Chain A
């Protein structure tokens, strides 16, 4: 009898632990289902490792008629990411807003937002975010001081862009389709010795006299980080 009760207790304890875990997030009761989910804002953001994205991510759940669906369940996931909240119901316009905290590793992260459809399958949308480590942050500072004057077409009263005045037009650092074709060494050479170092336009001046090798490496690392489509470093890849 005594053994039996101990056995029962031993069996009950883990069960109780499991119960507590499954209780999380059970308060959400979806009342509707959509047919598709789309990004409404907050994709392609950049922040320091471990930080929140500067803007919240907003996704939109629509029904078959293309209108927003209220009170549909949206779940967020992404390796290394933290979402607040992880699950939520859409508001009256069919949107869910979520704060995303990036992981501690400097790399690109994939945000996946899912909503169940009426047929039992999931509709999902994928967004990308980039976490900058020390080296890429250093590169961003160099970029913000020197490079964006010509390589960024956005113009503000404090910082007028020169982009429109240049021919051939400079490549934005996010232009992965073009920049991913260059090796790190080639990009560093163009930065240090000017466009002529790779038989490109002489309008790109040499910055080897203004920037240290460390800064040039950093700015190349920044270009790699913000490349879209993402940059794949050469080298052996193993499956998971």
Chain B
């Protein structure tokens, strides 16, 4: 050792003589480095050998062997497994660990060997990340499932899984209720007034909440009411769609001043604003309430009852406190003909007489809430109030929803949400304390936008947690991936046609807004039956009688066709048009000849009705004995339906009205004929009592 030390000292600086044998110390260093190298070379294979996925595969084989699944063990191929679909950009290695997706190993309930529940698509076709997100190419659970530094797409929580369907299915989809609700709300809550939501096929989701134009607002209501409404719309009507902008008293008062100042007189019916004196009679109170009922206002409008529950439809605005809102003059004219004030309203033109208008008006004006009125202490208007209000109206984009004189609707007022569904987390500013995920961010934005900063413009909507979850689901469907999918994968939403009835009848039907509730030839509402084939279905006398006095065919339903006070000339015009224009294909006279039907056929038909097919389970042929409330009452069906329609309907109801509740009983031709014979003998004019 000492020798070596001396050599070192003497060699310092001068090259020494060459040696053939290495020193012991050099050997030690060399050996150490070699071992280190060997170890470092072994790291990679060892990491691979001890990898998570290999561990799972061994565990799977062990479990399969324990359960004597010999074929499973025999046919097992180890290693990385992947689904590759070049067209979709899918490289998913999830099956490397999730080895029991097909359930070949029975009763394995814990992950990663749980069987995949039934799904609408084959995994081989679409892979896993299309629906579940995460990193398909990763081979550790951590990287595949969570957001990491390199890959930031975490798994989509199961509660939002409908969102994945929405990438290709752009319209309503069976089995995806949250997606459907959320998409509907993007329209019905008015989100798309401000935000652009463009679907992968290029269609833009349009709003359908129908916010009222404010062009003539001074005729309709007062500055005080506007002030109170802006301050808190839900205090006036719990069901109001209008969000809360959280304005302070001064701001709300200024906006109210501006809206009153910009109001112009409505073009039509100025003289109509003057009330016409009418004697209401001694029973005005009960008469007006029963008129509200018999016109079926509640089919569209809701009123809060004593228990605080809304009773009625949500197609028109809630009327609980309407007396606080509208002026009596305006209400009179509105009830006489709403189109004089607002040509685009969905409210039909009822042909009410002066007394009916006065009764209904008195009934509605009595719907007031003293607490609501007492809360509206509006600051007095000074000369600059309207100017300040105008500035606020511009700043907060009021004209994105409402028509306002002198204010142009702003374009793309809110951020574009077309690709919000996979917004990179690096671009998201989270509020301290919130969960740092995209669904949590979207939900928080929808729940309380101002929690991200007091100066933000987006107002607060009053939505339940369920609604927020649905909206988040619909927005999470708006991904980049969807925008780049092959076009043939996209299933676009059915777009409504532009059908409008023509001629005199068309103008009349426009005035009555038939298409608000009925669909005809692919255009219209879904509140009432589709009338596209009505001309083939019903008899003229019944149709005319029904339009002059619509009695419901379904005695237990609340929602009913309103009574419009149509003149006999108007009824003739509409029924002529309906019977000639709305014919089903293949309904010529040869299709079915009712003349040959006789009483023996009818007797056999009655037997079939009550015994073989149990029609009385759902229908009423005789009010004295039958109780079926699912389908329409048939006691007067011989006066209502045409024999050929009845016959064809019995043979295959789905062919005439796709999606009808009436099942196809696979009747023989002669059975359908006998049943038609029986039904045509049912000619009771009265409807029975309610349930």
Interface residues of A (CB under 8 A from B): 48-52, 54, 101, 103-106, 133-135, 137-138, 141, 145-146, 149-150, 157-158, 160, 162, 164-166, 201-203, 205-210, 215, 218, 221, 235-238
Question: Are the CB atoms of B106 and A235 closer together than 8 Å?
Answer: yes
> Given A202-B614, A205-B665, A149 and B106 touching (CB < 8 A)?
no
Whether B559 contacts A158 by the Cβ 8 Å rule is: yes
Q: Is the CB–CB distance between A141 and B174 below 8 Å?
A: yes
Which of B89-97, B222-230, B624-632, B669-677 lies at the interface? B624-632
24 A-B pairs with CB atoms under 8 Å apart are: A48-B158, A48-B177, A49-B161, A50-B159, A50-B160, A51-B158, A51-B159, A52-B465, A104-B158, A105-B117, A106-B117, A137-B175, A145-B661, A158-B557, A160-B557, A162-B617, A162-B629, A165-B617, A205-B614, A206-B665, A206-B666, A209-B663, A210-B663, A238-B107
Give the residues in chain A near B178, CB-CB below 8 Å. 48
- Given A158-B558, A206-B666, A238-B107, 7 new contacts (CB under 8 A): A49-B158, A50-B159, A101-B159, A134-B120, A137-B177, A162-B628, A221-B118
Residues of chain A contacted by B160 (CB below 8 angstroms): 50
Task: State the main secondary structure of chain A at its contact with B.
Answer: loop
Residues in B neighbouring A201, C-beta threshold 8 A: 614
A146→B159 CA distance, assembly (Å): 26
Mask: chain B, 645-665; 1 = CB below 8 Å from A; 0 = not: 000000010100000110111
A215 and B612 CA atoms in complex are apart in Å by 26
Task: Find the B residue at minimum CB distance from A160.
Answer: B556
> Are B159 and A218 in contact, with the CB atoms below 8 A?
no
B67 within 8 A of A: yes
The answer to the question of B469 belonging to the interface, with a C-beta cut-off of 8 Å to chain A, is yes
Q: Which B positions have Cβ atoms within 8 angstroms of A?
A: 67, 106-107, 114, 117-120, 157-161, 174-178, 465-466, 469, 556-559, 612-614, 617-618, 627-630, 652, 654, 660-661, 663-666, 691
Residues of chain A within 8 A (CB-CB) of B617 are: 150, 162, 165-166, 203, 205
Question: A149 with B175: in contact, given A134-B118, A158-B558, A160-B557 (CB under 8 Å)?
Answer: no
Task: State A202–B665 Cα separation when bound (angstroms).
Answer: 11
Please pick, from A48, A54, A165, A205, the residue contacting B627 in the complex, using a CB distance under 8 A: A165
A164 to B106, CA, bound (A): 42
Give A208 to B652 CA distance when docked, in angstroms. 12
Given the contacts A134-B118, A235-B107, A205 and B629 also touching, CB distance less than 8 Å = no
B663–A165 touching, CB < 8 Å: no
B472: min CB distance to chain A, Å: 12
Assembly CA distance A104 to B514 (angstroms): 45
Residue from A101, A138, A221 with most neighbouring chain B CB atoms (10 Å): A138
Give which listed residue, A146, A165, A207, A218, contacts B175 with CB less than 8 A: A218
CB neighbours of B157 from chain A (8 A)? 50, 104
User: Nearest Cβ distance between residue B490 and chain A, in whole angstroms?
Assistant: 20
**Which chain B residues lie closer than 8 Å to A49 at the CB level?**
158-159, 161
**Complex alpha-carbon distance, A104 and B161, angstroms:** 10
A133 to B663, CA, bound (A): 27
Cβ-defined contact, B174 with A202, below 8 A: no
Q: Does B557 contact A134, Cβ atoms closer than 8 Å?
A: no
CB closest residue in chain A, given B652: A209
Cα-based distance from A205 to B665 in the complex (angstroms): 7
Contacts of A135 in B (CB 8 A): 117-118, 175
Q: How far is the CA of A134 from the CA of B663 in the complex (A)?
A: 25
User: Are A51 and B629 in contact (CB-based, < 8 A)?
Assistant: no
Q: Choose among A50, A145, A160 the residue that contacts B629 (Cβ–Cβ < 8 A).
A: A160
- In the complex, A106 Cα to B109 Cα: how many Å? 11
B70–chain A nearest beta-carbon distance, Å: 15
A145 to B120, CA, bound (A): 20
> Which of B119, B175, B614, B618 has the largest count of A CB atoms less than 10 A from its CB?
B175
Q: Are B107 and A236 neighbours in the complex by a CB distance under 8 Å?
A: yes
Cβ-neighbour of B654 out of A104, A210, A221 (below 8 A): A210
Q: Are A209 and B664 in contact, with the CB atoms below 8 A?
A: yes
Residue pair A50, B161 in contact (C-beta under 8 Å): yes
Q: A51-B159, A135-B117 are in contact. Are A162 and B67 (CB under 8 A)?
A: no
**When chains A and B are docked, how far (Å) is the Cα of A105 from the Cα of B628?**
40
Output the nearest chain B residue to A133 by Cβ-Cβ distance. B117
Query: In the complex, A86→B300 CA distance in Å?
Result: 44
A146 touches B661 (CB 8 A): yes
**B614: contacting residue among A52, A157, A203, A235, CB under 8 A:** A203
B628: which A residues are within 8 A, CB to CB?
162, 165
A162 pairs with B614, CB closer than 8 A:
no
The distance from the CB of A113 to the nearest CB of chain B, in whole angstroms, is: 22
B158 touches A50 (CB 8 A): yes
Q: Please, which residues of chain B bring their CB within 8 A of the CB of A141?
A: 174-175, 177
Alpha-carbon distance A43/B141, docked complex (angstroms): 35
Nearest B residue (CB) for A47: B159
The answer to whether A205 touches B663 (Cβ under 8 A) is: yes
In this complex, the member of B158, B161, B661 whose beta carbon has the largest number of chain A beta carbons within 10 angstroms is B158
Distance to closest chain A CB from B35 (angstroms):
23
Residues of A within 8 A of B654 (CB): 209-210
Complex interface: chain B residues within 8 A of A203 (CB): 614, 617
A209 touches which one: B158, B612, B666 (CB < 8 A)? B666
Q: Which residues of A contact B661 (CB under 8 A)?
A: 145-146, 149, 210
- The answer to whether A138 and B175 have CB atoms under 8 Å apart is yes
Contact call B612/A202, Cβ cutoff below 8 A: yes
**Nearest CB in chain A to that of B132: its residue:** A104
Chain B residues within an 8 Å CB radius of A157: 557-558
A-B CB proximity, top 6 nearest: A50-B158, A209-B664, A138-B175, A50-B159, A104-B158, A165-B627
Task: For A106, list chain B residues within 8 Å (CB).
Answer: 117
- Looking at the complex, which one of A134, A208, A237 makes contact with B107 (CB distance below 8 Å)? A237
Is the CB–CB distance between B618 and A162 below 8 Å?
yes
CB contacts (< 8 Å) of B114 on chain A: these are 105
Residues of B within 8 A of A202 (CB): 612-614
Tell me, rounded to whole Å, the shortest Cβ–Cβ distance linking A97 to chain B: 15
Q: Determine whether the beta carbon of B67 is less than 8 Å from that of A238.
A: yes
Give the chain B neighbours of A150 by CB distance below 8 A. Answer: 617-618, 630
In the assembled complex, which residues on chain B have CB atoms less than 8 Å from the CB atom of A160? 556-557, 629-630, 691
Determine the distance from Cα of A60 to Cα of B99 in the docked complex, in whole angstroms: 43
Residues of A within 8 A of B161 (CB): 49-50, 134
Question: In the complex, which residues of chain B have a beta carbon less than 8 angstroms from the beta carbon of A235?
Answer: 106-107
Closest-by-CB residue of B relative to A49 is B158
